[in-house]
Amino acid sequence: MKYMTTAEIREKYLRFFEEKGCKRMPSSSLIPDDPSLLLTSAGMVQFKPYFLHVKEFDPSYIGATTVQKCVRTNDIDIIGTTGRHLSFFEMLGNFSFGAYFKDEMCAWAYEFATEVLELPKDRLYFTVFENDDETIEIWKKLGVEEDHISRLGEDDNFWRAGPTGPCGPCSEIYFDQGPDFGCGSPDCAPGCDCDRFLEFWNCVFTQYDGQEDGTLAPLPTKNIDTGMGLERMAAIMQGVQSNYETDVMRDLIAVGERLSGKSYKADAADDLSLRIVADHSRSVSFMIADGILPSNEGRGYVLRRLLRRAVMHGHKLGIEGAFLSNYVDAVVRLMGDVYPEIVDNRELVERVILSEEERFGVTLRQGQAYLADALSKLDGTLLDGATAFTLHDTYGFPVEITEEICADAGISVDKEGFASCMEEQRERARAATKDDAEAAWSTYGGVHDELLKELGATGFVGYDRLTASAEVRAIIKDGVRVDALAAGEEGEVILGLTPFYAEMGGEVGDMGTIEAEGLKLEVLDTKAPAKGLVCHVVKAVEGSVHTGDTVRAIVDELRRKRITRNHTCTHLLHAALRRVLGDHVKQAGSYVGPDRLRFDFTHFEGMTAEQIAEVERVTNDAIMQALPMAIYETSLEAARESGVTALFGEKYGDTVRVVEAGEFSRELCGGCHVANTAEIGFVKIVSESSVGANLRRIEAVTSFDALAYANKVESELKETAAALKATMFDVAERTAANLQLIKEFEAERKQAKKAAAEGSVAEHIKDMVDVGYPLVIARIDGLDSGALRNAWDVLRSRMPEPGACVIGTVNNDKPVIMAAATDEAVAAGFDAGAVIKAIAGNIKGGGGGKPVMAQAGGKDAAGMDAALDAARALLIKA
Ligand code: SER
């Protein structure tokens, strides 16, 4: 067979189907536009709407062809243990939405396999769904021998993306790797678990829409969805035994070899780790590039689990420190030309990996020790849930990793116990953060959903108008539908159409009034608890409102104006941040209120003062250029082509709203904006802070609020200047000079204190007696610990002939006694430790030391004189 690189196979496939009339389309994101899926796991995911015909495919083509990046993690723990499983893989596919079906598909599959890839016909095997005679006939007509075709049941030959949605019977093509790969069983055939027959192409005849009750409804057209695992195909074409030995994967394994100094195929345990890290490094790189960040939930958790599993195996290989980002280079080099997002987001990928690795690295070894200890004490073969929870909560071990390590020792983990510890923790968190208002609001879910079904989405007219006449369609009070609200009552009002913007995408809801003759409702907030249903949260201040009333809805114009200034400003800030810090900056959340704005974004370190100033300057520059805003609707595809900034992981419909500020910023957004950036006036950034791993937050104010902020800063500064008796612009200099003065005074004060202390110590030379050596016993109050230590040096230097001393001091009510001596005095019989021991009882203290130096602190200052008298009695009278 002809050797082909992975890149050659990919290109030949796409070109083949392009030539048949399919449109070559890019891989979709790993974050599927489909709430039923966590991650994109097949090529057909992006085409679901076309199978269902809720959307029509471009009629100038017969279908689509793609290479789709996929992540499948239902079997993470076996990845690496077999040659066939990868967590990240590329799937080649072609898709028809009613244009071509079985006849064409089978013929083209056969043509591609035998003429383009030149696979030997006698090594190809075909399976069909149990009763699919039609497909058997098609394969036979193409020249396939009858004994190369077999029927398989639902498990193998009926394909579904999930419990519901487009699905259908399928026919699969297998390559016979030869009996050496087989299990040797006489029944060995396609579908057998062994490695002999390798399934490389799944052709699904997508005819049904799986319903929730399990029944199959026919789809409007008969469709095709095929998937060929690129790595598997590469293994066949390259004559290697596993996906990991194909060109691309082998290059990734080589990175691990280089980092660890180990060689692939030298040791089974090392091979497993090398494979796992190679595979997981690709998955995590692509996941991060598509906007997934490590977390404890959903896809973020899958990412964290893969990343941490890779780190563990790196350590098993003996690689020290953070290493995983080293793989990114190879991923970019090997795959960047097909998936530009990995090139564009390279820095983000490297930094997210590094920071997650560092987080985990800190606790990894401690966690391993904790687990080893727990396992050594374990009685039986079940690790308790609480230990697994501590490993998760304190040491960052995903429970599946704990399970894997335990499995190596033949021990299982009490998953239920673990789950209940998790639930308890969640409960605690919920109880701690529950906002009563939010909670009450969420319990209204049912009534809102019903109203949305009944009334449909509320027409929003508030982009251009701030007042509108409308009919009251429904009223809710305390979560229940009512016919009226009387004066003084609070509730929610739903209108036929409204100029009020409901809180969404970070922008707060509008306030204002709803009025009619003799009626006034104050709108306190506007929300959309069911998507598209606008609820005005109101208080009736005058008259009562009834369903069916015609009213005038009037948005508080000034407040809205302030909100729009802040909203447009977040777009400008976003663009400015990307210009100043780099393209890894992505919006992660925002709050747009009338008085301030908050913008959260991905970045890895605190911004410097210069960067903050530069972002502010660039944003103000865009404001002062008075850029006209252009806001229009277009197709998602057209918007993407124009390079629009779409939000990280956000879902968009087919028609999107583009908000442009001149050439400076172009974002998809449904919010309210100014008509020209000049309306923003100016912006002041008031803070920059961290709000989580790799997440920063900027808070800012615009227009009159920025002015108010600047005025406040100015008035504080003026007050400070007045207090300093300086001008406003000398404050910094004067303050620095004052600080310098304070420092000098402080030094002088210390010096004077020291001199005074020394002076008062020196005075006691007059008390010196000769007891065979010169001895000073004195009480000198007010010595701090430094001065007391110094006292002996002072005495020693001023005594005509140094001997020994016992000094007591009371400083801030605390009594301390110190005794010290020269070696000569010690030789003559003085023992500082013994003296202190003998007299410390008088000050209710204890302490001791050596013959040359000892000290004791006490609790009773009143006993100081008695203590010193006791010393005299001991030393002088003796
Ligand atoms: N959707 C099918 C699969 O993933 C064929 O593309 O196997």
pLDDT tens readout for residues 465-521: 999 999 999 999 998 999 999 999 999 999 999 999 999 989 999 999 999 999 999
pLDDT mean across residues, the chain:
91
Whether 166 lines ligand 1, by a CB cut-off of 6 Å, is no
Could you identify the residue written with the tokens 């849930």? 385
Whether 43 lines ligand 1, by a CB cut-off of 6 Å, is yes
Whole-number Å distance between alpha carbons of 782 and 701 = 55
- pLDDT score of 773 more than 80: yes
Residue 65: predicted pLDDT: 98
Whether 758 lines ligand 1, by a CB cut-off of 6 Å, is no
Mutational test site, ligand 1, from 65, 225, 231, max ligand atoms within 8 Å of CB: 225
Q: Specify whether the CB–CB gap between 552 and 471 falls below 8 A.
A: no
Across the range 666-675, mean pLDDT stands at 93
Q: Which amino acid is at 810?
A: V
Across the range 129-156, mean pLDDT stands at 95
Q: Which amino acid is at 794?
A: V
Burial class (CB in 10 A: 0-12, 13-18, 19+), 147: exposed
Q: Whose CA is nearest to atom 6 of ligand 1?
A: 227
**Centroid of ligand 1 to alpha carbon of 848 (angstroms):** 83
- Per cent of the chain over pLDDT 90 is 69
Q: Which amino acid is at 45?
A: V
Could you identify the residue written with the tokens 């306190």? 524
Q: How many CA atoms lie within 13 A of 62 on its CB side?
A: 13
Strand 216-229 relative to strand 88-97, pairing: antiparallel
Mutational test site, ligand 1, from 160, 202, 233, max ligand atoms within 8 Å of CB: 202
- pLDDT score of 648 more than 60: no
Out of 283-292, 349-358, 643-652, 756-765, least confident range: 643-652
- Per cent of the chain over pLDDT 70 is 97
Whether 204 lines ligand 1, by a CB cut-off of 6 Å, is yes
DSSP of 533-562 = EEEEEEEEEES-EETT-EEEEEE-HHHHHH
**Centroid of ligand 1 to alpha carbon of 127 (angstroms):** 15
Residue 443: predicted pLDDT: 40
Strand 382-383 relative to strand 774-779, pairing: unpaired
- Among 550, 497, 556, 566, residue whose Cα is nearest residue 525: 556
Q: pLDDT grade, residue 431 (50/70/90)?
A: low
Q: What letter would DSSP give residue 41?
A: -
Mutational test site, ligand 1, from 127, 159, 174, 206, max ligand atoms within 8 Å of CB: 159
Q: Which amino acid is at 183?
A: C
**Centroid of ligand 1 to alpha carbon of 842 (angstroms):** 91
Whether 109 lines ligand 1, by a CB cut-off of 6 Å, is no
Q: Whose CA is nearest to atom 4 of ligand 1?
A: 42
Could you identify the residue written with the tokens 């003084």? 488
Q: In 655-784, which ranges are continuous DSSP H helix?
A: 703-724, 731-762
Q: Specify whether the CB–CB gap between 392 and 418 falls below 8 A.
A: yes
CB atoms within 10 A of CB 498: 25
Q: What is the pLDDT of residues 690-731, one digit of tens each?
A: 987 778 999 999 999 999 999 999 999 999 999 999 999 999
Q: Whose CA is nearest to atom 2 of ligand 1?
A: 227
Q: How far is CA 247 from the centre of its chain?
A: 32
Whether 223 lines ligand 1, by a CB cut-off of 6 Å, is no
Whether 203 lines ligand 1, by a CB cut-off of 6 Å, is no
Q: Closest ligand 1 atom to the C-alpha of 93?
A: 6
The SS3 call for residue 824 is helix
Q: Closest ligand 1 atom to the C-alpha of 203?
A: 5
**Centroid of ligand 1 to alpha carbon of 123 (angstroms):** 22
Whether 40 lines ligand 1, by a CB cut-off of 6 Å, is no
Q: Specify whether the CB–CB gap between 760 and 766 falls below 8 A.
A: no
Q: pLDDT grade, residue 647 (50/70/90)?
A: low
Q: Closest ligand 1 atom to the C-alpha of 42?
A: 4
Q: What letter would DSSP give residue 501?
A: P
Q: pLDDT grade, residue 802 (50/70/90)?
A: confident
Whole-number Å distance between alpha carbons of 279 and 253 = 9
Whether 226 lines ligand 1, by a CB cut-off of 6 Å, is yes
Q: What is the pLDDT of residues 232-283, one digit of tens each?
A: 999 999 999 899 999 999 999 999 999 999 999 999 999 999 999 999 999 9
DSSP of 217-256 = EEEEEEEEEEEEEHHHHHHHHTT-SSGGGSHHHHHHHHHH
Whether 202 lines ligand 1, by a CB cut-off of 6 Å, is yes
Q: pLDDT grade, residue 434 (50/70/90)?
A: very low
Q: pLDDT grade, residue 653 (50/70/90)?
A: low
Of 353-362, 469-478, 655-664, highest mean pLDDT: 469-478
Q: Is the pTM higher than 0.85?
A: no
Q: Specify whether the CB–CB gap between 76 and 97 falls below 8 A.
A: no
Mutational test site, ligand 1, from 204, 205, 206, max ligand atoms within 8 Å of CB: 204
Q: What is the pLDDT of residues 584-626, one digit of tens each?
A: 888 888 999 999 999 999 888 899 999 999 999 999 999 999 9
**Centroid of ligand 1 to alpha carbon of 42 (angstroms):** 6
Which of the pair, 464 or 238, is modelled with greater confidence? 238
Strand 149-152 relative to strand 124-129, pairing: parallel
**Centroid of ligand 1 to alpha carbon of 638 (angstroms):** 28
Whether 42 lines ligand 1, by a CB cut-off of 6 Å, is yes
Q: In 443-551, which ranges are continuous DSSP H helix?
A: 445-455
Q: Specify whether the CB–CB gap between 495 and 551 falls below 8 A.
A: yes
